[in-house]
Chains A and B, each alone.
Chain A
Amino acid sequence: QVTLRESGPALVKPTQTLRLTCTFSGFSLRTSGVCIHWIRHHPGKALEWLARIDWDDDKYYNRRQRTRLTASKDTSKNQVVLTMTNVDTVDTATYYCARGGIPSEGTDFDYWGQGILVTVSS
Chain B
Amino acid sequence: DVLMTQSPLFLPVTLGQPASLSCRSNESLVYSDGDTYVTWFHQRPGQSPRHLIYKVSKRGSGVPDRFSGSGSGTSFTLRISRVEAEDVGVYYCMQGTPPWTFGQGTKVDLK
Chain A interface (Cβ within 8 Å of chain B)?
37, 45-49, 52, 60, 62-63, 96, 98, 103-104, 106, 108-115
- Give Cα distance in the complex from A60 to B55, angstroms: 21
Contact partner of A46 among B35, B54, B103, CB < 8 A? B103
B44 to chain A, nearest CB (A): 12
Contact A110 to B60, CB < 8 A, known contacts A47-B94, A103-B96: yes
A113 to chain B, nearest CB (A): 6
Starting from the known contacts A46-B4, A109-B41, A110-B61, 19 additional A-B residue pairs (CB-CB under 8 Å) come to A37-B100, A46-B103, A46-B105, A47-B49, A47-B102, A49-B100, A49-B101, A52-B98, A60-B98, A60-B99, A63-B1, A63-B99, A103-B54, A103-B96, A104-B35, A106-B58, A109-B49, A109-B94, A112-B51
| B17 lies within 8 A of chain A by Cβ | no
- Give Cα distance in the complex from A9 to B97, angstroms: 30
Residues of B within 8 A of A106 (CB): 51, 54-55, 58, 60-61
Assess the B99–A112 pair: CB atoms within 8 A: no
Residues of B within 8 A of A62 (CB): 99
Residues of A within 8 A of B98 (CB): 52, 60
Assess the A113–B54 pair: CB atoms within 8 A: no
Residues of A within 8 A of B105 (CB): 46-47
Residues of A within 8 A of B103 (CB): 46
Sample (28) of A-B pairs whose CB atoms are under 8 Å apart: A37-B100, A45-B104, A46-B101, A47-B49, A47-B105, A48-B102, A60-B99, A62-B99, A63-B1, A63-B99, A96-B49, A98-B49, A103-B37, A103-B96, A104-B37, A104-B55, A106-B54, A106-B61, A108-B54, A108-B96, A109-B49, A109-B94, A109-B96, A110-B60, A111-B51, A112-B48, A112-B51, A115-B48
| B39 lies within 8 A of chain A by Cβ | yes
Contact A108 to B39, CB < 8 A, known contacts A52-B98, A62-B99: yes
